[in-house]
Amino acid sequence: MRVPALAATVALAANTAFAISTASVHNKCNFPVWVTSVSDIQGEAKMLAPGSYYTETQQTAQDGVGTAIKITRTETGLYTSAPVLIFGYSYKEHAQLYYGLSTAFGFDFWDQKLRIHNTDGLHVEEIIWMGEPKPDYTAAFLGAADLTLELCDDFAQTDEDLTEDD
């Protein structure tokens, strides 16, 4: 009786230890955006139509270098100094996940709700911007977790929701 339980526990631990975390962008806006992943090399811009997802496997940070998923509203935005929304993360294996939201060259998501969260129910701190940019912010999570940036998120809490429980 104990051997099957032990085998199940070992199998669960092995699946958890080798689980691969992802970073995703979900475009819930009524306009396309372009997504470019930048770590030690820069990928090419990929159009993300309304309702679509961009997902990548989180890369383990090397020598303190993380990954920035850069989002623009034009295909050539990274090369023309257009406003850039930056969803950054840095994961150190068996340690901690750092993630944040910031901007460069302005802000192109006025009046839109933006939210970084975990969809698996882990207690990962959400980052929510309600229609305007906030100061650059970095959160941390002990361990690995999937992260999703929702653009034009209709499920993000409003400012009133955040103050009702206080």
- Residue 136 confidence (pLDDT): 87
Mean pLDDT across the stretch 130-147?
Answer: 91
SS3 159: helix
What kind of architecture, by CATH, is found in domain 21-164? Answer: Sandwich (2.60)
pLDDT single digits (tens) 42-64: 778 999 999 999 999 988 776 66
Residue 28 has pLDDT above 80, yes or no: yes
The answer to whether 50 and 30 have CB atoms below 8 angstroms apart is yes
Query: Is 0.85 surpassed by the pTM of this model?
Result: no
pLDDT single digits (tens) 64-118: 678 999 999 999 999 999 999 999 999 887 778 999 999 999 999 999 999 999 9
SS3 47: strand
Band of pLDDT at residue 137, cut at 50, 70 and 90: confident
